Structure 1
Amino acid sequence: MALARVSPTAFSLSLLHSLSRPFSSSSSPVLRPKGFSIAAALSHGDPLEEGAVEEAPRPSSRLPWKPTCLYYTQGKCTMMNDTLHLEKFNHNLLMNLPVNASAADKMKPQKLDYILVLDLEGKVEILEFPVIMIDAQSMEFIDSFHRFVRPTAMSEQRIREYIEGKYGKFGVDRVWHDTAIPFEEVLREFEGWIRDHKLWKKEQGGALNGAAFVTCGNWDLKTKVPEQCKVSKIELPSYLMEWINLKDIYLNFYNRRATGMMTMMRELQMPIVGSHHLGIDDAKNIARIVQHMLADGAVMQITARRHPTTSEVKFLFKNRIR
């Protein structure tokens, strides 16, 4: 097992513990409301931010959805003693990804221990690198990594225009400017994160240990990361050579095609939480889809693998989204 299983603890203790983890939004679970059904755990949310869909009904026991403090996910929140700030923003992503024990009734054995949901943002250069880590055996949220990424091959004026167009509509452009770091630094911090979770050793290289990335499509790891590595003049890391395209798993499990995250959520009757195309919110919503599919009995398997020498990508599923 790559990491010791996490058991529920009191919310007050988990929040205090999470403050000691500067490079993750939270690592300690929250005590879940009793009687919280799988439908509530995996389908309902409280979309409040601009760009989110209308709020769905929720059980009275459900903790209210709150937007995530994005300064906190960068390890830079200085408002932890401000009551109004804590009332407005979420500092523990588990609140958005709860799972009841009864959800595991239909689960199939998984070859993986952990799933890393990755959903990049940025068409010219990568602007956001969010990862949600969940336990593949229990569907529990374990931890998260989130960094805003500063382009290195664009002028400052172009960057300002790019960020205003991308994040201004969400009201998080200021957070981006205050916290974004170059892609090479993001990867360095991410490697420290996966080493801390015993998922990878730099000295050994190779793929992840007992874990795999899940992406909604092949673009993130087939196209965008290699492009960004060339721009940043660094080698493509060994742990980014294989992944699970959730669209292919969805197609083979439910026998129907889904063009993207929104289609999956609509077909699974899962309202979106947060803002679509804000990477950390999309990663949380994709993680919710993964939880839902695991609860339905789906098995997460590697769907694509890149050859380390030729860089050719081999797709492992015959029936797949092209």
Structure 2
Amino acid sequence: ACAHTDSIPSFPYLEFARRPAPAQSARILPIMAARRVPYAQGQGHQLQQDFDFFLVVDFEATCEKDARIYPQEIIEFPAVLVDGATGHLASAFRCYIRPKHHPALTKFCRDLTGIRQEDVDGGVDLGQALRLHDAWLKAATTTGAGTKRCDGRLAVVTWGDWDCRTMLEFECRFKGIEKPSYFDRWINLRVPFQAALGSGGRVNLQEAVRVAGLDWEGRLHCGLDDARNTARLLADLMLRGVKMSITDSLALPPPIQRQPPHTIRCDGSSALPRPPIRQQQQQLL
């Protein structure tokens, strides 16, 4: 269910992932060939950033065509770690998550994301995924001697605010799960992209990658591929001289997620949400 890879073979967590594992631990597997190459030109350049590492995430969640599943749950938890000094990909992580309230993926969801039912059936719960991710991140930013490779300045990077402000925050609150505080603020890469290369119109991630002169790699709506392409775009902007800064945080409470029309409930039924209490009172007058 969970996997990661790294270009630095001394990481003990990576060595565990690459060892032959017993059947009950067979979920942890390498996900791609190790490599340490820049995403754009400028190899060896020291980029002037305020962060030592950028953590790029792009969650995939339960979904249905023309309807919203409630509660929506994360089913793929991917992350790509980018070195803030060079733009190199330092490590990558992916974990499939077993949804609790809608355990059977819709055909629309499977076709959109490429995630199979057996992927989530063999997955972990969100709390365990967060713990595995945190262990991977600590290993990826620590030397073999147990010391930090840097002073640990880290920024989460997303394309849009949905991943951290809406999806992860809502599900953790809904399920009573504690998450690491580094997810409480982030860089919405759409903001520096629009400032540097945007023409004023709203573009999606695939269009932004193309505008930057890069080819899209992998499958659209595969969380790991989306995160890797976001990381490539991040590195490209850094090499163009764009200095990254936090664009949003949870300093203000996120909006409450309400059940929209045509919501699919946990029991599979579909119903319109009840009107707010004030509206109900007005209807009674």
Where on the TM-score scale, by shorter chain, does this alignment land: which range?
Answer: 0.5 to 0.7
State the Cα deviation string for residues 87-137 of structure 1 (Å, max 9, x = none).
xxx63253xx73289515886410100111100111521111100001011
Give the equivalent residue in structure 2 for 1:56.
none
The correspondence for 2:28, drawn from 71, 75, 97, is 75
Unaligned runs of 5+ in 1: 1-5, 24-71, 78-89, 200-207, 314-322
**Cα pair distance change 1:227/1:170, threshold 3 Å:** closer
- Mapping 1:74-113, distance limit 5 Å: 75-76=28-29, 91-92=32-33, 94=35, 98-99=37-38, 103-104=42-43, 108-113=47-52
Q: The residue matched to 1:284 in structure 2 has which SS?
A: helix
Letter in 2 for 1:134: V
- Mapping 1:93-242, distance limit 5 Å: 94=35, 98-99=37-38, 103-104=42-43, 108-122=47-61, 123=63, 124-154=72-102, 159-162=103-106, 164-168=107-111, 172-173=115-116, 176-177=119-120, 179-198=122-141, 209-242=152-185
Letter in 1 for 2:130: L
RMSD, matched Cα? 3.4
**Cα pair distance change 1:253/1:136, threshold 3 Å:** same
In 2, distance between residues paired with 1:213 and 1:125? Answer: 20
**Cα pair distance change 1:225/1:18, threshold 3 Å:** closer
Give the equivalent residue in structure 1 for 2:15.
20
In 1, distance between residues paired with 2:114 and 2:192? Answer: 34
Deviation at 1:16, TM superposition (A): 11
Q: Is the 8 A contact 1:229 1:236 kept in 2?
A: yes
State the Cα deviation string for residues 248-307 of structure 1 (Å, max 9, x = none).
011222353442211201212222111100101111111111111111111111111222
User: Based on CA coordinates, which of the two structures has the bigger radius of gyration?
Assistant: 2
Q: Is the 8 A contact 2:105 2:117 kept in 1?
A: no
Q: The residue matched to 1:181 in structure 2 has which SS?
A: coil
- Mapping 1:48-59, distance limit 5 Å: none
**Cα pair distance change 1:223/1:134, threshold 3 Å:** same
In 2, distance between residues paired with 1:181 and 1:273? Answer: 27
In 1, distance between residues paired with 2:43 and 2:180? Answer: 34
In 1, distance between residues paired with 2:186 and 2:26? Answer: 24
The correspondence for 1:274, drawn from 218, 221, 227, is 218
The correspondence for 2:189, drawn from 201, 221, 246, is 246
Q: The residue matched to 2:186 in structure 1 has which SS?
A: strand
Letter in 1 for 2:234: V
The correspondence for 1:264, drawn from 182, 189, 208, is 208
Deviation at 1:144, TM superposition (A): 1.1
In 2, distance between residues paired with 1:187 and 1:109? Answer: 30
Q: The residue matched to 2:216 in structure 1 has which SS?
A: coil
- Mapping 1:280-295, distance limit 5 Å: 280-295=224-239
Give the structure with the higher percent strand.
Answer: 2
Deviation at 1:247, TM superposition (A): 0.3
State the Cα deviation string for residues 230-252 of structure 1 (Å, max 9, x = none).
23222343221100000001122
User: TM-score scaled to structure 1, two decimals?
Assistant: 0.61
Letter in 1 for 2:49: Q
Q: Is the 8 A contact 2:52 2:83 kept in 1?
A: yes
**Cα pair distance change 1:17/1:168, threshold 3 Å:** farther
In 2, distance between residues paired with 1:221 and 1:194? Answer: 17
The number of aligned residues is: 226
Q: Bigger shift: 214-223 or 100-109?
A: 100-109
Give the equivalent residue in structure 1 for 2:267.
none
